[in-house]
Amino acid sequence: MNTHPSSTRWPRAVVTLLMAAALLPIARLAVADPLAPAAVARHLGYVPVSGEGAVYVIDTATQTLLKKIPDVGSHPTVLRMLPDRSKIYVDNFGPERGEISVIDTLTDTVVKKIPTHGLPFASIQLAPDGRFLYVPTSASLMQVIDTRSDRVVRSFALPGSPIAIEVGPDGQRLYVFFSDNTVAPFDAQTGAQLRPRLPVQGVGPDWGALSADGRKLYAMNELSDSISVIDTQAWAVVKNLPLPPGSAPVSGTLTPDGSQLYVCNIGTRDISIIDTRTDTLVKVVPTQHAPVVVGFSADGRRAYLSDLGAASAAFSAPLGGTIGLAFFSFLPGLPGHVVTYDTRSHQPIGRPVVTGTGPIVGVYD
């Protein structure tokens, strides 16, 4: 016999709604609130500062300095981050000794220093899958570091002094630029030279950039104020793009979608933006100080520029191959900057992050 009046029996649909309402606050706790401070992921940038032997950790969303990683090595110049972001490799340019430092990004500490035979030039590159780090050195060697063991696992001799390298999209081919203004491809496993050395039709190819499909290779010719465009299948220079006299292009970085190349002209203090479909200059962005390298956010909406700040006064174009040596003579305490740009308007965003002397090739999310 039912002792409860029928008037107090709630319909099942009402009970279901009440239970859902009661559980709603709990469910909301399980879903990240985009406005909750704890749920906001920080976007980090790491920048080597040559004059301090340190790496700066920057919150790129707020454009603030979070910390410094000290005692990285002598004149750190280039950072390369593994695809899973677990480790960063630091190219310590010397001159006291040659070594690659390894930073654990979980703790932001240097966990190992890997000696190299000769000074590692400022052009280390990772294989696309992150398995190997390729290090050209002043001993005319290519040294290969296994990123699982963080050991040099093989080396091969190069027919000249390497100054920049690029790794093919399949990780099987290395393009090496030499100080005699040539470039050649090598087998990444055996070191065998695959094609004859090709003159880049410019002087001082201190930096390269390779398209995602591996078909187009760019050489930034610092001494001749030009950019060479190389067809890697035809193995020929198909275009030479002149820049204004005294530009001294020291680096070139492709946007994440590969549609543009940002070239830093340290001599004329500006950035040349190249349309990679037509290989033509589409815009020149003036910079307050001498620009060194541009990096990008993963979505390509922000560009991060390392500039030399007050140290710019030490330079006069043309610089030629003196840029690396100049970092050795920088006085400590001169400010550099990391400046954030909107890639649609090409205007600076917010306030620059002030660094020590000589911020160079950083990595960003």
pLDDT above 90 coverage of the chain, percent: 73
Q: Is the model's pLDDT at 325 over the cut of 60?
A: no
**What pLDDT sits at residue 51?**
87
Q: In angstroms, rounded to a whole number, what is the distance separating the alpha carbons of residues 123 and 232?
A: 20
Q: Is the model's pLDDT at 29 over the cut of 70?
A: no
Which bin fits 245, alpha (ψ -120 to 50), beta or left (φ > 0)?
beta
Mean pLDDT for the stretch of residues 28-36:
33
CA angle in degrees (0–180, nearest 5) for 9-11-14: 120
pTM for the full predicted model = 0.86
CA angle in degrees (0–180, nearest 5) for 236-239-243: 135
Q: Is the model's pLDDT at 22 over the cut of 70?
A: no
User: Quick one: pLDDT band at residue 329, thresholds 50, 70, 90?
Assistant: low
Tell which wins on pLDDT, 365 or 201.
201
The phi, psi pair for 310, rounded to 5°, reads -65, -25
User: Quick one: pLDDT band at residue 49, thresholds 50, 70, 90?
Assistant: very high
Does residue 323 sit in helix, strand or coil? helix
Which bin fits 217, alpha (ψ -120 to 50), beta or left (φ > 0)?
beta
**What pLDDT sits at residue 324?**
52
For residue 51, what are its two tokens?
């004059």
Mean pLDDT for the stretch of residues 11-18:
36
Mean per-residue pLDDT over the chain, rounded: 86
Q: Is the model's pLDDT at 333 over the cut of 80?
A: no
Q: Is the model's pLDDT at 260 over the cut of 50?
A: yes
**What pLDDT sits at residue 331?**
64
Q: In angstroms, rounded to a whole number, what is the distance separating the alpha carbons of residues 153 and 163?
A: 22
Contact 336, 286 (CB under 8 A): no
**What pLDDT sits at residue 146?**
98
Q: In angstroms, rounded to a whole number, what is the distance separating the alpha carbons of residues 126 and 174?
A: 11
Tell which wins on pLDDT, 233 or 32.
233
Lowest mean pLDDT: which of 42-46, 122-126, 194-198?
42-46
**What pLDDT sits at residue 332?**
67
User: Quick one: pLDDT band at residue 218, thresholds 50, 70, 90?
Assistant: very high
Q: Give the pLDDT confidence of 296-321 residue by residue, as tens digits.
A: 999 999 999 999 887 676 555 444 44
Mean pLDDT for the stretch of residues 224-237:
97
Q: Give the pLDDT confidence of 153-177 residue by residue, as tens digits.
A: 999 999 999 999 999 999 999 999 9
For residue 322, which of 266, 260, 257, 243 has the smallest C-alpha distance? 266
